[in-house]
């Protein structure tokens, strides 16, 4: 849409000059564009007014609709990206504490990288699940982080027109899965098992379809908002 409006605006600007019947603008005099503008010059009041009206409408649309939407989209994208990174940091921190590990903040941040997380916990994930079974407060804290992330995604969906089907689909699937983890008897009867399965797909990048991904699918999707 932006490209189409840009082309139409450029066409209207040329038409405005051509229909005005005025001399070629001083900055364009003596340039390669001057002969072209002279050849296009066809004084026409109706055409001139239409071009002026179109350009005025585009300007006010940009000022009232497009610019605020871009700013809001940028703000919500930054907020959700920050929430997602906080979710990963806080969840990993709970896992580390639950396993009795001692890591500095920068080491925990390094584990937000899916390859690093997989390398650290591959072969030990069952131990993490066993540790969480005996630490209900840790599990509760992780579920809270999932809920906060889900609410942030829902807020974005409710306050932005998300036309990208991949973005919309990912947000809906994640939010629905978090809801089921907290409320569906199928999941709550063995909550640790299903929470750990879900966390492994996010923190280690595991997919039943693609295997281990090289990129964080959620972060890549957030960039498309």
- Give me the phi and psi of 204, to 5 degrees please: -105, -5
Give the percent of the chain with pLDDT over 90.
36
| Whole-number Å distance between alpha carbons of 36 and 33 | 5
Paired sense of beta strands 211-212 and 206-207, if any: antiparallel
Q: What is the pTM of this model?
A: 0.76
Coil vs helix vs strand at 211? strand
Q: Which of 42-46, 53-57, 129-133 has the lowest mean pLDDT?
A: 42-46
For residue 17, name the pLDDT band (cuts at 50, 70, 90).
low
Confidence of residue 139 (pLDDT cuts 50, 70, 90): very high
pLDDT value, residue 79: 94
- Residue 70, by phi and psi: left (phi above 0), alpha (psi -120 to 50) or beta? alpha
Cα gap 70→63, rounded to integer Å: 11
- Residue 107 pLDDT more than 60? yes
Interval 51-68: pLDDT, tens: 888 888 888 888 888 888
- pLDDT per position as a tens digit, 154-211: 999 888 888 888 888 888 888 888 888 888 877 778 889 999 999 999 999 988 778 8
Q: Which two tokens stand for residue 201?
A: 């797909």
Q: What is the mean pLDDT of residues 14-39?
A: 61
pLDDT of residue 147: 93
Query: What are the percentages of helix, strand and coil residues in the chain, rounded to 5?
Result: 75, 0, 20
Domain ranges of the chain: 2-61, 71-222
**Among 18-22, 65-69, 207-211, 218-222, the least confident range:** 18-22
Q: How many of the other CB atoms lie within 10 Å of CB of 18?
A: 20
Residue 65: strand, helix, or coil:
helix
pLDDT band per the 50, 70, 90 thresholds, residue 90: very high
Mean pLDDT of 74-84: 94
């Amino acid at each position: 849409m932006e490209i189409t409006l840009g082309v139409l605006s450029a066409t209207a600007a040329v038409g405005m000059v051509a229909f005005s019947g005025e001399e070629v603008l001083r900055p364009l005099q003596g340039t390669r564009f001057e002969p072209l503008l002279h050849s296009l010059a066809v004084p026409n009041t109706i055409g001139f007014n239409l071009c002026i009206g179109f350009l005025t409408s585009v300007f006010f649309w940009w000022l009232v609709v497009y610019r605020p939407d871009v700013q809001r989209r940028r703000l919500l994208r930054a907020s959700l990206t920050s929430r997602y990174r906080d979710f990963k940091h806080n969840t990993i921190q709970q896992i580390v504490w639950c396993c009795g590990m001692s890591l500095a903040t920068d080491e925990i941040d390094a584990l937000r990288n899916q390859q690093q997380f997989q390398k650290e916990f591959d072969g030990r994930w069952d131990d993490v699940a066993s540790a969480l079974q005996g630490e209900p407060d840790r599990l509760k804290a992780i579920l809270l982080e999932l809920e906060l992330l889900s609410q942030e995604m829902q807020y974005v969906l409710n306050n932005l027109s998300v036309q990208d089907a991949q973005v919309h689909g990912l947000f809906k699937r994640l939010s629905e899965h978090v809801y089921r983890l907290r409320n569906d008897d199928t999941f709550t009867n063995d909550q640790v098992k299903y929470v750990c399965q879900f966390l492994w797909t996010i923190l280690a990048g595991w997919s039943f379809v693609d295997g281990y991904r090289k990129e964080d699918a959620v972060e890549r999707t957030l960039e498309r908002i």
